[in-house]
A and B are shown apart, each in its own frame.
Chain A
Amino acid sequence: MEGLASPAFLAALLAGMVTAAVPLLLAGLGEQISEKAGVLNIGLEGMMLFGAYAGFWTAWQSGSFALGFAAGAAAGVATALVMALLCVRLALDQIVVGIGLTLAGEGATALLHHFQLSRSYPRLEAVATWPVPGLADLPVLGRAFFDRSPLVYLAVLLPFAILLVFRRLQFGLNLQAAGDRPAALDAAGVSVTATRTAAVLLTGGLAGLGGAYLSTVGAGLFVPFMTNGAGFIAIVLAMLARGRPLNVLWGALLFGLCLALTTAVQVAGLAVPTDVVQMLPFAAVLVVLVLFGRRAGLPAALGRPYRRGEE
C-alpha cells in the first residue's frame, strides 16, 4: 500500500478531482443560468443522463470525442426543449415537470443501454490530451491541471465567460430581471418567455455536455443511473453560489475532491467499505447546507411561472 501523502497518490487524487468536478461545474453553471432567470430546474439529473448516453453512443460510433460532446449537448438541449415548452410557455409546475424529466432520463437511458449496449459492453479509449508546454510536466499538479482534454480547459474558463455575460451584456441583465422582477422586464419590452426559454436551453446544453464528459472521458463507458445524484449536487452548488459563477467553480472542485476520494481511497487499498466512502459527497453537501444554507440567495420569482398581468 502506498502512503496517502505520496506524490503518486496526490497526483491521482487531484487528477480525479478535476475529472469529477467538470460535469458538476458544467451542470452547476447551467442550473445557475436557469435559476438566475427564475426557473428551478429539477430535471438536471435527467438532462445529464440523456447527454451521457447520447455523448457516449456518438463517440463510440464515430470514434470522435468532439462529436460525442456535441451530441451530449444536443441531447441536453432537446430535453430542455420539453421543459421550456411545459414550464415557460405553458407555465406548468417546474418541480413536477423536473421530476418527470429526471425519471424519463433514468428510465429511457437505462432502456437504451439494455437494447443497444448490454450485449457488447463497449468501452472508449482514453481521450487525447492537449498538454500545456512547460506546465504539463510539473510534479503532482501537471497531470491534474495541465495535461487534459480541451473541454476541461474550456470548462474552467466558462465561469469567467459567464461572469462577463452576467455583468456586461444586455442578455445577462435580462436574465437577472427575468428572475427578480419579470413584470419589469416585460414592461421594458423584453419577452420574459424568450429570455427564460434561452436560459433553460442553455442549461440543458451545459448539463448534457457535463453528462457526455462523465460518460466519455470520466468513465469511458455508459452505465444506467451513472450520474448517481451528480445532477442534484449541481443544483445545490448553484443554490449556494448565490448567482456567482466563480463560486460554482470552487464548489465543483470541492465536491469533485469528495468524489475523487471515494475512488482514491479504494485504489489506495484502505480497508473502508465502499458504501462508507460513497456517503462522503452527500454528507459534505448536507454539512455545507447546515453551515451556509441560510445564505443561499435565490431570485425572488424562482419557481414561479410568469403570466402577464398576474403578480
Chain B
Amino acid sequence: MGSRALAAFGLRFLLPVLAALVVGGLLLLAFGADPIGYYATVVERGLLSPIGLQASVTRSAPLLLIAAGLIVAFRAGLWNLGADGQFLLAAVFVAAVAPPLAGRVPHWLMLPAAFAVGAAVAALWSLVPALLKALEGVNEIVSTLMASFLGVSLANVLIKLPFNDPTTTVPQTATLAVDQRLARFPGTTVHWGVLLGLVAVIAVHLLLERTAFGLRLRVLGENPRAARHVGLPVRRLTVAAFALSAGLIGLAGAVEVLGVQGSLRADWNPAYGLLVVPLVFLARLNGWATIATVLFFAVLMIGGESAARRTGVPTYYLLVQVALMLLAFAAVRAVEARRGRG
C-alpha cells in the first residue's frame, strides 16, 4: 500500500470509526459508565479470547450475506431498507421446512433446499416494493420499511400458529437436530456459512464490477434517466435487483437458522438490517472493504454482548456506535467532495 493509499484508508475508514468510538466513549462517561473498561472488555471478549473470536467470525456469516444484498440494491440506486422483514420471514420458513425435511431426504439435499426456500421467501417478500417502484414509481424507502414491519409481525404469527412446535411450552418452531446443522470447521465453533457469506460478498463485487448485468445495474443506480435513454429495461432490472438483494438477505436468515439457532422463538428479531447499512457505506459499497467493516463490527457486537453482562452497558450502545460511524462517514465524504471540487 503506498502512502497516499494509506492516507486515503485512514481518512475514509479509520477517521469515522475513531470519531465514533471517541464520541461514544464520551457519552458512556456522561452516563457514569467507564468507557476504557467497556472497550477493553469488548476487545478482550470479542477478539482476543478464542471463544469470542470464533463467535465473532460466526456472527459475521449473516452480516456478510445481508451486506451483499444491500450492496446489490444500493449500487442499483434502490434503497432496500426492508432487510429485517426479509431476513426474519426467510428464517421462519427455513426453520419450518428444515426439521421435517431432515428426516426424509439426505443431508446434502436438505441444506440446498432449505437455502433455496430462504432465498425464495425473501425475494417474494420484496416483490411488492419492487413492483411498486418499477411500475408506479413509488418511493421504495417507505414501501420496504412498511413491508419490513409487516414481515416481522407476520413472522411472529407464523411461529405462534402454523409453524408452532406443539411439544414445547414456549411458542417456537421445531428444532433442527444438531447433526443436521451446518458443519463446523474442525476444532472450532465456526460453521461453513461464514464461507458462504465471504463468497457472496466477493461474487456480488465481481458481478457488479466485471459483468454486463452489473454494469447495467450501476448505470441504473447512477443515472436512471440515462439508463432509460440508452434503452435498458429499467423495470425488469429494478425487479431483478430487488429479488437478488432480498434473496441474499434471505440466505442470511437461512444461515442463522441452519448454522446457529436450529429453531426460532417468537419475538426473536436481531434487527441486523439497519445495522449493516452503515457498514456497507463505510466500505463505499466495495466488497473487499465490506468484509473488513463487517468483521470489525462482528467483534464489536460479540464483545458488546459480553460487555453488557459484565459492565452493565446495554447492547443498545451498538446502535449509537453505528449511528455515529454513519454520521462521521457522511462528514468525511463531504470533506472529500469539497477537496475534489477544490
User: A residues near B, CB below 8 A?
Assistant: 42, 82, 86, 90-93, 95-97, 99-104, 106-108, 110-111, 114-115, 224, 228-229, 232-233, 235-236, 239, 273, 275-276, 278-279, 282-283, 285-286, 289-290, 293-294, 296, 298
Contact of B278 among A90, A100, A233, A285 (CB under 8 A): A100
22 contacts between A and B (CB under 8 A): A86-B330, A90-B331, A95-B141, A96-B330, A100-B278, A100-B324, A102-B323, A103-B278, A104-B327, A108-B27, A111-B314, A114-B314, A115-B32, A229-B145, A233-B146, A273-B156, A275-B153, A275-B160, A279-B157, A282-B146, A293-B137, A294-B136
- Cα-based distance from A288 to B275 in the complex (angstroms): 28
Contact between B319 and A106, CB atoms less than 8 A apart: yes
Interface-centre pick from B136, B324, B331, B337 (highest chain A CB count, 10 A): B136
How far, in whole Å, are A115 and B320 apart by their CA atoms in the complex? 14
A273 touches B32 (CB 8 A): no
Q: Which B residues lie within 8 Å of A273 (CB)?
A: 156-157, 160-161
Closest 9 CB pairs of A and B: A107-B319, A293-B138, A104-B323, A107-B320, A110-B316, A103-B323, A100-B326, A275-B156, A282-B150
Please provide the chain B residues from 149 to 166 with a CB less than 8 Å away from any CB of chain A in the complex: 149-150, 153-154, 156-157, 160-161
Decide if B31 touches A111 in the complex (CB within 8 Å): yes
Give min CB distance, A154 to chain B, whole Å.
Answer: 27
CA distance A106 to B273 in the complex (A): 14
Q: Are A235 and B142 in contact (CB under 8 A)?
A: yes
Indicate if the CB atoms of B274 and A103 lie closer than 8 Å. yes
Q: Report Cα–Cα, A97/B323, bound state, in Å.
A: 9
* Residue B143, interface by CB 8 Å: yes
B147 within 8 A of A: yes
Beyond A82-B327, A282-B146, A285-B146, whether A42 also contacts B141 by CB under 8 A is yes
**Residue on B nearest A42 in the bound complex, by CB:** B141
Q: Are A279 and B142 in contact, with the CB atoms below 8 A? A: no
Among A101, A110, A283, point to the contact of B150 (Cβ < 8 A).
A283
- With a cutoff of 8 Å between Cβ atoms, the chain B residues found around residue A275 in the complex are 153-154, 156-157, 160
Residue from the list B138, B139, B320 in contact with A111, Cβ < 8 A? B320
Contact indicator B142/A289 (Cβ below 8 Å): yes
Instruction: Indicate whether B132 reaches chain A with its CB closer than 8 angstroms.
Output: yes
Task: Determine the chain A residues whose CB is within 8 A of the CB of B277 once the complex forms.
Answer: 99
CA distance A226 to B145 in the complex (A): 16
In the bound complex, CA of A174 to CA of B149 (Å): 36
On whether the beta carbons of B132 and A293 are closer than 8 Å, the reply is yes
Chain B contact surface mostly: helix
Taking a contact as CB atoms under 8 Å apart, the answer to whether B334 and A108 are in contact is: no
**For chain B residues 91-143, which have a beta carbon within 8 Å of chain A?**
128, 132, 136-139, 141-143
On chain B, the residues within 8 Å of A97 by CB distance are: 326-327, 330
CB distance B153 to A279 under 8 Å?
A: yes
Residues of A within 8 A of B141 (CB): 42, 95, 235
Q: A279-B157, A282-B150, A286-B150 are in contact. Are A232 and B142 (CB under 8 A)?
A: yes
* Residues of chain B within 8 A of A96, CB atoms compared: 281, 326, 329-330
CA distance A201 to B314 in the complex (A): 31
B142, closest chain A residue (CB): A236
Which residues of chain B (248-306) have a CB below 8 Å from chain A? 274-275, 277-278, 281
Q: Which of A42, A92, A103, A296 contacts B334 (CB 8 A)?
A: A92
Interface on chain A toward B: helix, strand, loop, or mixed SS? helix
What is the size, in residues, of chain B's interface with A at 8 Å between Cβ atoms?
A: 49
CB closest residue in chain B, given A285: B146
CA distance A32 to B63 in the complex (A): 35
Could you tell me the distance in whole angstroms from the C-beta of A144 to the nearest C-beta in chain B? Answer: 26
Residues in B neighbouring A279, C-beta threshold 8 A: 150, 153-154, 157
Given A97-B330, A286-B128, A293-B132, A107 contacting B153 (CB threshold 8 A)? no
- Residues 315-342 of B at the A interface (beta carbon under 8 Å): 316-324, 326-327, 329-331, 333-334, 337
For the complex, is B39 an interface residue (Cβ under 8 Å from A)?
no
Cβ-defined contact, A95 with B320, below 8 A: no
What mask results when residues 170 to 185 of chain B are scored 1 for a CB within 8 Å of chain A, else 0?
0000000000000000
A111-B316, A232-B142, A289-B142 given; A102·B327 CB < 8 A: no
CB distance from B275 to the nearest CB of A (A): 8
B206 to chain A, nearest CB (A): 25
Contacts of A283 in B (CB 8 A): 150
Q: Which residues of B contact A232 (CB under 8 A)?
A: 142, 145-146, 149
B27, B32, B145, B329 — most chain A CB neighbours (10 Å): B145
B192 at the binding interface (Cβ < 8 Å): no
Measured CB to CB, the nearest residue on chain A to B327 is: A100
Contacting residues, chain B, for A233 (C-beta < 8 A): 146
Q: Is the CB of B323 within 8 A of A100?
A: yes
Assuming A111-B31, A224-B316, A279-B154, is B326 touching A289 (CB within 8 A)? no
On whether A86 and B331 interact (CB within 8 A), knowing A224-B316, A232-B142, the answer reads yes
Nearest-neighbor residue (CB-CB) of A236 within chain B: B142
List of B residues within 8 angstroms of A111 by Cβ:
27, 31, 314, 316-317, 320
- Of all chain A residues, the one with the shortest Cβ separation from B131 is A290
User: If the complex has contacts A92-B331, A104-B324, A114-B314, are A282 and B153 also in contact, measured as CB distance less than 8 A?
Assistant: yes
What residues on A are CB-neighbors of B81 within 8 Å? 99
Asked if B146 and A107 sit within 8 Å, CB to CB, the answer is: no
Which of B31, B132, B327 meets A86, CB within 8 Å? B327
Please state if A99 and B326 are interface contacts (CB–CB under 8 Å): yes
Whole-angstrom distance between the Cβ of A106 and the nearest chain B Cβ: 5
B157 and A289 form a contact (CB under 8 A):
no
Contact of B323 among A93, A107, A278 (CB under 8 A): A107
A107 and B147 form a contact (CB under 8 A): no
Contacts of B156 in A (CB 8 A): 273, 275
